[in-house]
Amino acid sequence: MTRDDISSGVQVPPAAAEEVGAAHARWWQGLLDGDVPALEALLADDLTFHSPVGTVGTKARMLENHRSGQLAYNSITPAEPVIRVHGAAAIVTGRVDILYQWQGQPRTEGLHYTAVYTWTAPHWRMRAWQSTIRGDARG
């Protein structure tokens, strides 16, 4: 797919990088707060979520994990985000340290991640997530 294919006929706001950054900040805050309505608005219906342990999830599964209380975040410390906008698509890469609970068990992760957003008027939505455990975070 060429860049023209990605952006043809789509009117992207002039401040796209800032808006993507704000959407990405809402992602982190939504996770931390367990804010299902905020996450529901931010995530595309066809989201593909690749976890660092090799599982593949969906928007519905992620929201259910939050609703049920199986997943809860204690702290999220993102660093070094890089935002690149290409027409109606944006790629955010960075690193993050996360403390969370899965099914009541505390866990920590140090990750490198890639998030892909697309412009769906009137805002940016996350379509894909891929994360990998950082070399400096392996036990």
Confidence at 121, pLDDT banded by 50, 70, 90: confident
Total tally of structural domains belonging to the chain: 1
> Of 13, 20, 19, nearest to 127 (Cα)?
20
Confidence at 139, pLDDT banded by 50, 70, 90: low
pTM of the predicted protein model: 0.87
Report yes or no on 45 lying in a domain.
yes
Report yes or no on 5 lying in a domain.
no
Report yes or no on 7 lying in a domain.
no
C-beta separation of 85 from 18 below 8 A: no
Report yes or no on 70 lying in a domain.
yes
Q: Which domain holds residue 30?
A: 14-137
Report yes or no on 118 lying in a domain.
yes
- Residue ranges in the chain assigned as alpha helix (H): 3-7, 16-33, 36-42, 59-68
Q: Is the pLDDT of residue 14 over 80?
A: no
Report yes or no on 127 lying in a domain.
yes
Pairing of strands 56-58, 71-86: unpaired
